[in-house]
Structure 1
Amino acid sequence: MGDDDLSRKTLKNLTVDEARGRMLAGAARLGVEEVPLAKALGRVLAAPVVADRDQPPFAASAMDGWAIRRADLVPGARFQIAGESAAGQAYGRPVEAGQAVRIFTGAPVPRGADLVVIQENATRDGDTVALTIDRDPPPGNIRPAGGDFRSGDVLLTEGARLDAWRLALAAAAGWPNLDVAVRPRVAILATGDELVPPGYVPAPDQIFESGSFALAALVEAWGGQATRLKAQADDRDAIARAVAEAQFDLLVTVGGASVGDHDLVKPALQTLGLDLRVQTVAVRPGKPTWFGVLEADGVGGRPVLGLPGNPASALVCAELFLRPLLAALTGADPGLAIETGVLAAPLPANGPREHWMRAARAVDPDGRVRVTPFSDQDSSLIGVFSRADCLVLRPAGAAAADVGDVVQLLPLARG
């Protein structure tokens, strides 16, 4: 067997890990841009966020009440009211012996005070106030300066995906703009004579195209910019023209991924210089999934992920391959967020391909995650996928599993 034959042979029936490794081998962050904080939701940080100020920058009251010197609080003591400290309007003098300062939540604690007595334990009479405490409040109802973070602390690391809470942290540190990874431009091309867009009247032998809509939504959720190209019939020249005219950093094709007479995507892209890196994957569903790099236009290195036409196969393989690819192209962690659960129903022995089964999770009274794979795992069933909230992994050649056996699962983001 020659080297070329050996090379072609090693492109077929790769394990999921092998295939994903080949896809990620050349993937790297595309670039960096600065965006306003208000536009950074869902973006991936390209530089750390470091505090240049303590938060809070002063000792602050945790309650509405009265700021005093703890040593002055003796039975029967009355305090002379010296002034007020409110948020943004600090009492500017130190608290002296026998004095109390009216203080509100979040306001700076005056110098000299080390205890805030809550207002429920105060009785005011003109310019004086009597204070009591039922128990010593830890730690004096005062939030220390720098209690949240201190100047020089790394608050968010490069590669972190920005959610609402991380944006709040960056805002609390005073960052108006953030350096983030450029969002990959992802072109999605569905192919097949049988496809018509939703809203059209299909012929008796046609179906509505659905995969590109789901994939575009996933691309946007995973940090990319999705463009749905016009679906193409099984026409090699038309497919090649559609791709040649598109602008993208990553191309995702849906359908035409197998080796039948009507599976023309790879032949079409080979006319544009496709360098095939993965030909098939030993996974169920999704064996026809393939991957290559398009280099004909001299730019080089534009990855192409070919997904099967069956929607469930395409979406399972999007979770396994497209999501990690987008993470790598934005500088985020491309690893799968695998969790564990216990089976709520038995499963038969698995065959020679790794199987990712659509399933639903529930938490039992003991706090255990119980997963129930759906009984029908046909790769064409979108209805099943719409009810699933995780994928259960069955390793290749796995023995039969009983109720209560621990399994690995990949959560699916559900609204």
Structure 2
Amino acid sequence: MSALLDLEEAQTMLLALAPLLPSEPVAADTALGRILAEDLRAARTQPAADLSAMDGYALAPGEGPWLLVGESRAGAPYRELLAENQCVRISTGAVIPPGADRVLLQEDAVNEAGLILATELPPPGRHIRARGFDFHAGDLLLTKGTRITPARLALALAAGHGTLTVTRPVRVAVMDSGDELAADPADCLPHQLPASNAAMIAAMLAPLGCEITRMGPVPDDRAALAAALAKAEGADILITSGGASVGDHDLIKPALTDWGAQIAFWKIAIKPGKPLLVATRPGASGTQVILGLPGNPVSSFVTAFLFALPLVRAAQGDPEPLPKVEMAYAGEDLPAVGPRREFLRAVFHDGAPQLAGSQDSSALSALAAADCLIDRPAHAPPLAAGSPVPVFKLQNG
């Protein structure tokens, strides 16, 4: 395929290849970050009874004063039917006793030897959390494809679910390759570079709850690459970094072919990240997807953000796997763009993105400083400061 693919076309093609993973039941309190594999409906009503929203007195109808006949506290309700002009002391979260129709705030009450007077009488229903005001048994609470966050975990537990059915974790193998890479960053000769891409990509994937296996760095050698690829037999997704370009020592493409992979597409019309490669291969548990990222660290990061993370989300069952674009106003003049769409590393200053530093695809200091990517279309003319620009906030990745 000689023509470079547009970003959205390549993303669509890639997501269509996402592996279909089975589901599994897990204890709810271990499901944080996982994706629901089925709709979640409430197994109970919340609250299951009328509850007090404040500390004070639950009053039966009447003009007062109210005779104090007992107490209802959280976990220990008062069960007797209140008669007219009777009340009970009540705490926040306690069950409203039968016969009471409102709660008098503690600060609006005067206790005179067991007779309760109201300095400000609330209307009927005030300060009561009615049964089922949050949800009722059978209500749809979370839909299939929803990621479990701390608040959603609390909702699932409150709805009576100690077990959740979620998608099995995606098994991802991450490998970096290149003769120039040193495994130990503290023992790196002048002609070498510390291997950092696989660690960076694994760290990007970690919040998604993947099962990650790191391999390498692997030298530019067909036999060494074959031995490394054999270790990825059980992976749903293999992500490689380096060796995907067109140089004499870029051996990922032929090594993948030797391994039985079929190239789906290669080269994207973006900068950085042009030599992105996508392939598929029959694996131990279904079709494996192979994502070959460029070796330059910034290119590797940007393509992981735009392709690897969405691929994993799609495999998990996330219905909206792509990163979200937002609009901002450029904090400085931006240069013209060449024939490929560019993603500029930038930092928000007072809400306006400015370039983080060098835009060279090897400049890790600028990448480390960046908190967003400015999306600039191909062949765009110079852009004046204050003009609207689309941005991807990196925490969205």
Query: Structure 1 length normalisation: TM-score?
Result: 0.91
One-letter amino acid of the structure 1 residue matched with residue 355 of structure 2: P
The corresponding residue for 2:58 is 67
Pair 1:412–1:137, CA change in 2 (3 A): farther
Question: Would you identify which runs of 4 or more consecutive aligned residues in structure 1 move more than 4 Å?
Answer: 135-139, 297-300
Change (3 A) 1:62 1:373: same
Following superposition, the deviation at residue 46 of structure 1 comes to 0.5
| Structure 1 gap segments, 5+ residues each | 1-7
What pairs up with 1:190-269 in 2 under 5 angstroms?
A: 190-246=176-232, 247-269=234-256
Match of 1:125 in 2: 112
Name the CA distance, whole Å, in 2 between partners of 1:67 and 1:311. 65
Any residues of structure 2 matched to 1:260-339 within 5 Å, and which?
Answer: 260-295=247-282, 301-332=287-318, 333-339=320-326
1:99 and 1:119 map into 2 onto residues whose CA distance is 16
- 8 Å CA contact 2:244–2:252 kept in 1: the answer is yes
* Residue identity opposite 2:153 in structure 1: L
Q: Structure 1 residues 207, 225: CA separation in 2 closer, same or farther (over 3 Å shift)?
A: same
Q: Which residue of the other structure, out of 42, 46, 60, is the alignment partner of 1:55? A: 46
CA contact (8 A) 1:389 1:414 kept: no
What's the CA shift string for 1:43-87, capped at 9, x where partnerless? 111011111222111111011100113x424xxx32111111111
Q: What SS class does the counterpart of residue 413 from structure 1 fall into? A: helix
- Structure 2's unaligned 5+ residue stretches are none
Contact 1:358 1:391 in 2 (8 A): yes
1:205/1:138 CA distance change after superposition, 3 Å: farther
Q: Tell me how far apart the structure 2 counterparts of residues 305 and 335 of structure 1 sit (CA, whole Å).
A: 16
SS of aligned partner of 2:300: helix
The aligned counterpart of 2:82 is 95
- Secondary structure of 2:116's counterpart equals strand
AA aligned to 2:81 is: P
| Equivalent residue, structure 1, for 2:339 | 352
Superposition deviation, residue 223 in structure 1: 3.2
For normalisation by structure 2, the TM-score amounts to 0.95
SS at match of 1:160: coil
Contact map agreement 1:117 1:132 (CA 8 A) in 2? no
Is 2:161 aligned against 1:161?
no
Amino acid at match of 1:72: G
Distance 1:136 1:395, change over 3 A: farther
Aligned residue for 1:35, secondary structure, equals strand
TM-fit CA distance, 1:179: 0.4
Q: Deviations over 1:177-202 (max 9, x none)?
A: 10000111111111011111235411
Q: Which amino acid aligns with 1:390?
A: C
Counterpart-to-counterpart distance in 2, 1:261 and 1:40: 46
Going from structure 1 to structure 2, the CA distance change for 1:414 and 1:198 (only over 3 Å counts) comes to farther
Say yes or no: does 1:112 pair with 2:88: no
Aligned residues: 395
**Residues 314 and 351 (structure 1 numbering): CA distance in 2 closer, same or farther, change over 3 Å?**
same
- Calculate the aligned-residue CA RMSD, in Å: 1.9
SS in structure 2 at match of 1:301: strand
Q: Give the corresponding residue for 2:34.
A: 43
Question: Which amino acid is the alignment partner of residue 110 of structure 2?
Answer: T
Aligned-partner Cα distance in 2 for 1:137–1:212: 64
* Equivalent residue number for residue 391 of structure 2: 409
Tell me which moved more, 24-33 or 385-394: 24-33
The structure 2 residue matched to 1:170, chosen from 117, 139, 156, is 156
* Residue of 9, 16, 33 corresponding to 1:18: 9
| Counterpart check, 1:376 vs 2:362 | no
1:204-230 per-position Cα deviation (integer Å, ceiling 9, x unaligned): 201111111111111221232111012
Q: CA deviation at 1:29?
A: 2.9
Instruction: Deviation per CA, 1:351-374: give whole Å up to 9, x if none.
Output: 111111111224x5xxxx422222
Which stretch of structure 1 is more off in the superposition, 386-395 or 216-225? 216-225
